[in-house]
Amino acid sequence: NLFVPTFDGLEGFIDRYGNSVIDTPTKEQREFIGRPIGAKQYIINKKRGFIKSGDFEGLSEYTRMYPTRFAECFRTASKDSGFNMQKLEDYIDTLSFKSQQVKRGDFVWRNNKKDTIVDFVGKKNGKFIMALDLNEDEANRKWWNEDINSWNPGNTSWGVAGGDPFKFNRTEGNRKSNGGGAVVRKGKIQHNDLTMKRRFACTYSNRPSDKYIYAEDMLMMCVYYGVQMFPEINVALLWDWFEQRGYAAFLLYQLDTHTGKFKITPGANTNDKIAQDIFSEYMNWIEHEADEEEIIEVLEECRDIGGPEEMTNYDLFTAGGYALMGTNSLFDDIEEAENQEVDYSSFVRKRKYS
């Protein structure tokens, strides 16, 4: 698709030589166009006017008419999800004109040797969007636990992954659902203040030809970051795959606050309560932490979703919600407080595979 952003060739922002005045104009350009700003800032100001007045319907219409990114050509009206739309639109607007520090690519096993080192390989049409990468010393922290015959993650205090396997039913608009995935870097709180806010380290929204390709993509993502997966288990694909591949300890189990014991299943089922929990988690994140987010697609899904009943149409939103929920798990709080390794053997499911 050929796409030219609105700020390139915008009427009223062409200098005497036919060049677009996109950024801050020179003195000669200012005198010719009669404006002290370029086309980008003009569009930003127009959008911020809609945001300030709370006219999100007008903002959506203006964005469709004057898109700065291809995705904005299909912009829908903001819905009443309960999220702080003013903040979301402001963050999205800022990222739209910012040189984003993200890259596309794929996770691969080094030299195609499984269970060794995972590398992130840049690729224009890659399945992953990465905002936070790790250096050689930080990445691929895992160790083999002979007691349970599983690889154990070695970076659980850094972040949590979430996964939403694709289903075979079709979503709204007759679209096949994608597999969703995300890793969220944990925040840190000192003296009741967020000293480091939660951020999405990487995201994934893709539908491979084989569901096991998706499952292996999620496994490699977790191995690279050394974090556990908090999966949606309505479809047990990730649960099964991680165990079959020898990574059962990479699955995150919640602590049951009623019994004081870990639940017998990892992750959660997306029922009404979990859906509400995910929305509450996003609401809190948007209100206090999303101003540091770099992956615009996450913010756009938050803006576009109308409510928990629409989660089947927003795969990335759901996967990201599971990752955010995982960051609030009591698992690491207990491990850190007691300064000891957690015994996984009591909740690793014993299975036989042919």
For residue 203, the SS3 value is: strand
- Give me the pLDDT at residue 51, please: 79
pLDDT tens figures, 261-312? 888 999 999 898 999 999 999 999 999 999 999 999 999 999 989 889 999 8
- Do 253 and 262 meet the contact criterion of CB atoms below 8 Å apart? yes
Q: Which of left, alpha, beta for 14 (phi over 0: left; psi -120 to 50: alpha)?
A: beta
pLDDT digits (tens, 9 = 90+) for 99-145: 778 999 999 999 999 999 999 999 999 999 999 999 999 999 999 99
pLDDT digits 0-9 by tens, 192-232: 565 689 999 999 999 998 999 999 999 999 999 999 999 99
Parallel, antiparallel or unpaired: strands 199-206 and 150-153: unpaired
Which tokens belong to 350?
A: 């014993």
- CATH numbers and ranges of domains, the chain: 1-77 (no CATH), 103-338 (3.30.420.240)
Cα-based torsion angle of the residue sequence 180, 186, 187, 188 in order, rounded to the nearest 10 degrees? 170
Give the pLDDT score at 262.
85
- Three-class SS string for 118-140? EEEEECCCCCEEECCCCCCCCCC
d(CA 342, CA 243): 18
What Rg do the C-alpha atoms of the chain give, in angstroms?
22
Q: How far is CA 196 from the centre of its chain?
A: 17
User: Which tens digits make up the pLDDT trace of 158-180?
Assistant: 999 999 998 754 444 545 778 99
